[in-house]
Amino acid sequence: MRVGFIGLGEMGRPMAQRLLRAGHDLAVWARRPEAVAPLLDEGASAYASPAELAARSEVVFSIVTNSADVEAIAFGPDGLGDGLAAGAIHVDMSTIAPQSARALARRYAERDVGWLDAPVSGGGAAAADGTLAIMAGGHALVLERVMPLLATLGSRVVHVGGAGAGQVAKACNQMIMVAAIEAAAEAMHLARAHGVDVEAVRKALLGGSAGSRVLEVFGERMARRNFSAGIQARLHHKDFGIVLAEAVRLGVPLPIAAQVCQQLNALMAAGWGGEDTASLLRVLEAQSQARIDE
């Protein structure tokens, strides 16, 4: 298929490479020329704007930072909307607000262009391996048309519902995952306060009912005090902004999510947004030290 791809960061680049290596005719666009270079070396073609990329693509994928970014590449100057032909499809794999996804779907429908919000979970390693979990929102017939492409990117594709439903599922995913990171941080903090080997505690917990992927990956980072970014904390902070905005809009109480968001706020205030979300441990340590210093 003639496929376009926008968003060539830690997640997007390996996803685009998988589509290219599967034999699809891949076009790319990025704000930074250096971001497209590795894909050009593998046979992709670069275009000067999203509109030009869209004009030659049957399906365009995007995975960028936030709602405003998606709206800009879709309907900003020289956006995808200026180039996508009737019957083409935009599959957005970013994590954005459900309301934004629904609004974009409506605007595309007026032009007879298909839309899927299909955010992903699994991280950079899963993106490279093609084992992402993909949560799809949109019309079933649109999903059916792009399913061969999604199968190249993920090992599990679930149609959650209509437009925006994929983003609702992703918000729920982030709530559970980051709350678990905070719980792991609190457990490591308590173990260290007792003078117990935190890595030994982590290994013990992995064998019991507290065992989880979060404890395995983020707990190890905490035990080794490796806070370099696997997933930048600023992205989880952005995601929790979406979660709490939806809670306010719908009048849904989310007490644990609200508390985790406050810890993420503290993390951002400390200047750790570019580092891993395992830095929630350092937030607890800083809070404890502040109490001691009082």
CB 139 within 8 A of CB 162: yes
- State whether 53 and 145 are in the same domain: yes
Strand partners, 156: 133
Q: pLDDT tens for residues 57-101?
A: 999 999 999 999 999 999 999 999 999 999 999 999 999 999 999
Of 252, 237, 15, nearest in space to 119 by CA: 15
Domain CATH number, residue 91: 3.40.50.720
Of 129, 162, 195, the one marking the end of a domain is 162
CB 60 within 8 A of CB 88: yes
Close Cβ partners of 87 (under 8 Å, ≥ 6 residues apart): 112, 113, 114
pTM for this entry: 0.94
Of 91, 14, 95, nearest in space to 57 by CA: 91
DSSP codes joined into one string, 21-80: HTT-EEEEE-SSHHHHHHHHHTT-EE-SSHHHHHHT-SEEEE--SSHHHHHHHHHSTT-G
pLDDT of residue 186: 98
Q: Residue holding tokens 């809070």? A: 287
For residue 170, indicate whether it is catalytic: yes
- State whether 145 and 37 are in the same domain: yes
- State whether 47 and 63 are in the same domain: yes
Q: Which of 18, 159, 170, 238 is catalytic?
A: 170
Chunked mean pLDDT (size 10), the chain, 294 residues: 95 96 96 89 94 97 96 97 97 97 98 98 94 98 98 98 98 98 98 97 96 96 94 96 97 98 98 97 94 77
Q: How many domains does the chain have?
A: 2
Of 127, 263, 246, nearest in space to 182 by CA: 263
- State whether 35 and 149 are in the same domain: yes
pLDDT of residue 18: 97
- State whether 106 and 50 are in the same domain: yes
Label residue 294 exposed, middle or buried (CB < 10 Å: 0-12, 13-18, 19+): exposed
Containing structural domain, residue 195: 168-293
Q: Residue holding tokens 């750790």? A: 272
Of 144, 162, 180, the one marking the end of a domain is 162
- Residue 47 and residue 28: Cα distance in Å, rounded? 6
- State whether 217 and 148 are in the same domain: no
DSSP codes joined into one string, 159-182: EEESTTHHHHHHHHHHHHHHHHHH
